[in-house]
Structure formats: C-alpha cells, structure tokens
Amino acid sequence: MVRLGQNFLADPNLLDAIVRDAELEPADVVLEVGAGEGVLSERLALAAAHLHTIEIDRGLEPALAALAARPGVSLHWGDAMKLDLAALEPAPTAMVANLPYSVATPLILRTIEQLPAVGRWTVMVQREIADRLRAAPGSRTYGSPSVVAQLACEVELVRSVDPAVFKPRPRVASAILRLRRTGPAPDPVTWQLIRAAFAHRRKSLARSLEHGHPGSLAPARAALAQLGLPEDARAEALAPADFAALSAKLQGED
C-alpha cells in the first residue's frame, strides 16, 4: 500500500544492491529516512554499527516492532524535515534510504547542511530529482539545488530503477543517486545568494538579485566582472564554484 506518498521496495535483489552501493564500513552510523516496512532497514542494521531510521507513519508501528527492538537500532517517529537531525547520537556518517519523493530534494540539502559528519549518501529518488541534482551549468534542469549539492558533494547517478520493483508501481521513473562529500555546505549567505540568483531565471543573475535585494545590481555586476564573467550572465551559466567565488567577492572576503 502507499502510505503518506511512499512506495515500498519489493525486490530483494535491489535492496541488497543498494546496501552494496552504499559501501558501508562496520563503524558507520547510518541514517535512513522512510523506514517503511523495514525491509531496507533490516539490511542496513546488519551492515553498520548503528542505524537511525525515521518514519512518519505510525500505522507502520506493528511492522517495525521487531526492528525497533534490535540492538544498535534507533527508530525515530516523526517528520524528518522537522526533527533535530543534529541531535542524533551517535552522529550519522552515511545516509542510505528509499526517500519519500515529495521531500527528497529539501531533505538531501538539509542533511548536507545539518549533518557535517555524513560523508556519503546512497538514496533512491525520482529520476527527475537525480538529474536535477547532478545537472551541469547551462542545462534546463540546472538550478539552485544543483549548485548547493555540488558545492559540497560529488553527485553520481548509480543506476536507473524499473518501476516494477516497487509496490504499488509508481508512475515516475526512479534512480539510485550517490553523493560523496567534498566540502562543507555553503554558508547561509552563499545559500541565500544561490536561491535569489535562480529566483527569476529569465533575468540576468544581477537583476534577479536586485529584484529581491534592491541596491545589489551594481555590486553584483562589478563582482561578476572582477571574476571574468559577463555582467549580464544568467544564473544557469555559472558553475557551482563561480557562485562560491561571487559570494566571497560580495562579502569582501577576497
């Protein structure tokens, strides 16, 4: 059945493949969001030192009772977008999950920001989300989530997934996405800059910033010019590193 928008994995071979793809070490502390019926959780509990698994649907409590009783497993009931993830003890070092598609993008970005000890993500997501997070500058799907994710991580499509492995079968294509942390999340000022830059995609980056923050047009154009970028460049033309450099210029850090 579908519970709160989640489609459950039904293929044991794929479940085993996800755990292999995660390349977990015995000392890893894993965060799973969307425990569902616990079929992936059981495998993760065997592969890691500790498993934090989050589930919002209390209707699944009977199915997860045995999992919750296992040593080394912490079952958290609630909304992963509202829970204090930074308070999880021990701190997660990896995230492996069949993510609820409705919150996949903001949840991945939230864990990048709030869980600095997490070095790897292996997550099942809608194919559209996978394409967006790994999109290159200039592409139609390149946007603020792409920039934020790629400033902190290498983003890789591991495999496409047949809808037939879910119950019930979803209407969208899915994929397993892997992220490997390469640095910290963007600071709040840079994050805000990235979001404002893409807020008005038909405008130049500088004009998009001006729309939300009057008075920023001239400084943004000057900073772009100093970086060797066109003053009228649109946000989708800048690489993730360009946004970091632009933010540093505007903050007077260079």
Q: Are strands 73-77 and 50-55 parallel, antiparallel or unpaired?
A: parallel
Please say whether the structural domain 188-250 has been given the CATH code 1.10.8.100. yes
Residue 197 is given by DSSP the state: H
- CATH 3.40.50.150 domain residues, the chain: 8-181
Type and span of the H or E element at 66: helix 61-68
Q: Under CATH, which number does the domain 8-181 receive?
A: 3.40.50.150
φ/ψ of residue 55, rounded to 5: -140, 135
pLDDT at 11: 84
Distance CA 210, CA 199 (A): 11
63 CB neighbour count, 10 Å cutoff: 15
pLDDT at 101: 85
- CATH 1.10.8.100 domain residues, the chain: 188-250
pLDDT at 253: 66
pLDDT at 254: 57
pLDDT at 165: 80
In tens digits, what is the pLDDT along the chain, a chain of 254 residues? 334 455 677 788 899 999 999 999 999 999 999 999 999 999 999 999 999 999 999 999 999 999 999 999 999 999 999 999 999 999 999 999 999 888 999 999 999 999 999 999 999 999 999 999 999 999 999 999 999 999 999 999 999 998 888 777 777 889 999 999 999 999 999 999 999 999 998 999 999 999 989 999 999 999 999 999 999 999 999 999 999 999 999 998 65
217 CB neighbour count, 10 Å cutoff: 17
